[in-house]
Structure 1
Amino acid sequence: MTRRLPSLNGLRAFEAAGRHGSFTAAARELNVTQTAVSRLVRLLEDRLGFALFRRHASALELTAQGQALLAGLTDAFDSIARLTESVEAMRGGPVLTVGVGPTLAVSWLIPRLATFYRSHPAIEVRVATGGATRPVRDDWTCTIRRDTDALPGYTAERLFPSIVVPVCTPELASTLRSPDDLRNATLIVVSNMPNEWPHWFEAARLRSPPHPAGEASFESNAMAMQAALDGVGVAIAQFPYVSDALATGRLVAPFPIIAHTRDSWFLEYRPVRREDPALLAFREWLHQEADRERQVETELVNRGSMGAIRARTKVRKR
């Protein structure tokens, strides 16, 4: 039997847009442009011969046909995801794929994997960049994400809080005596995270936020952290991104002030994977590493001494 199916990309674009009520939100989930989502939905409507949305200035409204199609598509895609996960769980070798944002992968997860392999040499860990900024893929065993809530249909286990801290080279830190001195510094900003500096200014109880001498903007946290390492200026960083650089003294936190955000870092996975032996081993190890990370964060708050943090973190020669 030959199936006459519309474009699967069009169906995915419509399902995401219908679920979110927005082409823009659907584009973020699918990691494509808003224009691409709109075009795929328009092509699907042309193929079906009727409109799926009433397009308003600030929202999308499903037509009767759109409502009927959305309900069936969401169930169908959920069924495909569950079927795929069930089949993958039948594979013989212990393989674990973890989805994680590129900066957390390079700065925090990968440097710690050697300790996992020493305890679990038979488990193959595959690191897929994504998680924090891209849709979670069905072929991932789990993901490490920063968010306020768990993904729908996922089990979430809190690893550590989301906090931000200013960091810079030791040479630059020597010129900073108080947060007010940031007025004379170049502040490094991640363009899609413009609120992290203001959030820290509030935690530092500055009467008025500094107007820095300069500002350097980068598109990703990885670029911003490299700029800080190169002495470009003072960056505001998620603590896991810089904890190892602080431990080795390549970066310092010039002020013992951190700012908690509304988010947390989570390990998330589908409930069907709960008894996966590779995931069980990985989550136990990951929670141990998260406990150490929280201890280092506490050291920063309580002592305000990077020397103490370096001494404590270097224990990871284990």
Structure 2
Amino acid sequence: MMRRLPSLNGLRAFEATGRHGSFTAAARELNVTQTAVSRLVRLLEDRLGFPLFRRHANALELTAQGQALLSGLTDAFDTIARLTESVTAMRGGPVLTVGVGPTLAVTWLIPRLAHFYRSHPDVEVRMATGGATRPVRDDWTCTIRRDTDALPGYNAECLFPSTVVPVCTPKLASTLRSPDDLRNATLIVVSHMPNEWPHWFAAAGLRSPVHPAGEVSFESNVMAMQAALDGVGVAIAQIPYVSDALAAGRLVAPFPIVAHTVGGWLLEYRAIRKEDPALLAFRGWLHQEADRARQVENMLVKQGSIERREGPSA
């Protein structure tokens, strides 16, 4: 069935005029002259067979028909605008959804995505919060998480080992001479990861319980890393969380001891997705970035900035 619609230009002119209450304001929005808007509205009124405005000397007043038409048109144009935006946002290339913990996403993955897009401009990467702390969803293409084994039914590829190191600002580090000085410092703790500090203390040779002068607890690693950057205290961090900040000198490792913990950072995906074009591109790029991350750690070891040590068995 063919729709019998009035002029869309006339409807746009009327809707803008009705919202603003002025031909002049509508003309500015539509980037045409006031005369053009007034003429389009007049032609629309002629087409409909009734007036939409009562024209006064210094004001426009909507008629009852004008009020009814305006409310429906505004909703309709808003719907068209939203639809246009959503279609414009759609990409024709492969789409990849990766589940990843918020801290790794913010501190490591997102800062590197520009490099991925330069090499693979046709692939759209969508991130979902999860991977490290939430169950993997079936609609995700892959996940990056820290664990000892792959999830049931998933292939797992190791990206880099799980290692922790104390970090703080250079100013705070200048007050620390040995690991034992941490007893007089404020330690930053992540509430759901209470064993990270004890693990590092054991690797550093501090066998007895360490009771710091102060302790600040956060619910997430993202908040803990920001607190370290703000000089709140000394945080214990996974190397990927702080590798960029260490390389830039925004954070330092006051005691160059990296403790290996159980497990590692894994890229996981179902076997059925192995040949997915987006995943193939992402996997190759991700392993290259992981290799670079390991090279940075190796460089710091050679420079004496950090030293690897094994923590206690889990």
Q: 1:264 is matched by which residue type in structure 2?
A: G
The 5-angstrom pairing of residues 71-110 of structure 1 reads 93-110=93-110
CA contact (8 A) 1:225 1:235 kept: yes
Partner residue in 1 for 2:174: 174
Q: 1:243 is matched by which residue type in structure 2?
A: S
Residue 210 of structure 1 deviates from its aligned partner by 2.8
Partner residue in 2 for 1:282: 282
CA contact (8 A) 1:258 1:301 kept: no
Residue 205 of structure 1 deviates from its aligned partner by 1.1
Between the aligned partners of 1:124 and 1:92, the Cα distance in structure 2 is 9
Partner residue in 1 for 2:203: 203
Structure 2 SS opposite 1:275 = coil
Structure 1 SS opposite 2:144 = strand
Structure of higher CA gyration radius:
2
Between the aligned partners of 1:176 and 1:264, the Cα distance in structure 2 is 29
Q: 1:166 is matched by which residue type in structure 2?
A: P
Structure 1 SS opposite 2:193 = coil
Partner residue in 2 for 1:160: 160
Partner residue in 2 for 1:292: 292
Structure 2 SS opposite 1:157 = strand
- Please report the TM-score for the alignment, with normalisation by the length of structure 1: 0.66
Asked if 1:267 corresponds to 2:262, the answer is no
Between the aligned partners of 2:206 and 2:130, the Cα distance in structure 1 is 35
Residue 127 of structure 1 deviates from its aligned partner by 1.1
Residue 183 of structure 1 deviates from its aligned partner by 1.1
Partner residue in 1 for 2:142: 142
Between the aligned partners of 2:92 and 2:271, the Cα distance in structure 1 is 20
CA contact (8 A) 1:257 1:301 kept: no
Residue 102 of structure 1 deviates from its aligned partner by 0.4
Q: 2:302 is matched by which residue type in structure 1?
A: N
Q: 1:96 is matched by which residue type in structure 2?
A: L
Partner residue in 2 for 1:126: 126
Between the aligned partners of 1:121 and 1:92, the Cα distance in structure 2 is 11
Between the aligned partners of 2:180 and 2:129, the Cα distance in structure 1 is 37
Over 3 Å counting, the alpha-carbon distance change for 1:297 and 1:209 in structure 2 is: farther
Residue 135 of structure 1 deviates from its aligned partner by 1.0
Residue 207 of structure 1 deviates from its aligned partner by 4.0
Residue 211 of structure 1 deviates from its aligned partner by 1.8
Asked if 1:189 corresponds to 2:195, the answer is no
- Please report the TM-score for the alignment, with normalisation by the length of structure 2: 0.67
Structure 2 SS opposite 1:188 = strand
Partner residue in 1 for 2:302: 302
Structure 2 SS opposite 1:165 = strand
Structure 1 SS opposite 2:288 = helix
Q: 1:268 is matched by which residue type in structure 2?
A: E
Residue 302 of structure 1 deviates from its aligned partner by 3.3
Structure 2 SS opposite 1:98 = strand
Q: Which string of whole-angstrom CA distances, capped at 9 and with x for unpartnered residues, describes residues 142-182 of structure 1?
A: 00010010000000000000000000000000011110111
Residue 106 of structure 1 deviates from its aligned partner by 0.5
Partner residue in 2 for 1:228: 228
Structure 2 SS opposite 1:286 = helix
Paired-residue identity, %: 85
Between the aligned partners of 1:206 and 1:148, the Cα distance in structure 2 is 26
Residue 192 of structure 1 deviates from its aligned partner by 0.6
Q: CA RMSD in A?
A: 1.4
CA contact (8 A) 1:199 1:259 kept: yes
Between the aligned partners of 1:93 and 1:244, the Cα distance in structure 2 is 31
Between the aligned partners of 2:130 and 2:149, the Cα distance in structure 1 is 17
Q: 2:280 is matched by which residue type in structure 1?
A: L
Between the aligned partners of 1:92 and 1:299, the Cα distance in structure 2 is 41
Q: 2:298 is matched by which residue type in structure 1?
A: T
Between the aligned partners of 1:218 and 1:123, the Cα distance in structure 2 is 35
Aligned residues: 216
Q: Which string of whole-angstrom CA distances, capped at 9 and with x for unpartnered residues, describes residues 258-283 of structure 1?
A: 11111100000000000011111100
Segments of 5+ residues of structure 2 without an aligned counterpart are 1-90, 307-314
Structure 1 SS opposite 2:128 = strand
Residue 194 of structure 1 deviates from its aligned partner by 0.4
Between the aligned partners of 1:155 and 1:174, the Cα distance in structure 2 is 45
Structure 1 SS opposite 2:205 = coil
Structure 1 SS opposite 2:156 = strand
Between the aligned partners of 2:155 and 2:148, the Cα distance in structure 1 is 14
Q: 2:227 is matched by which residue type in structure 1?
A: A
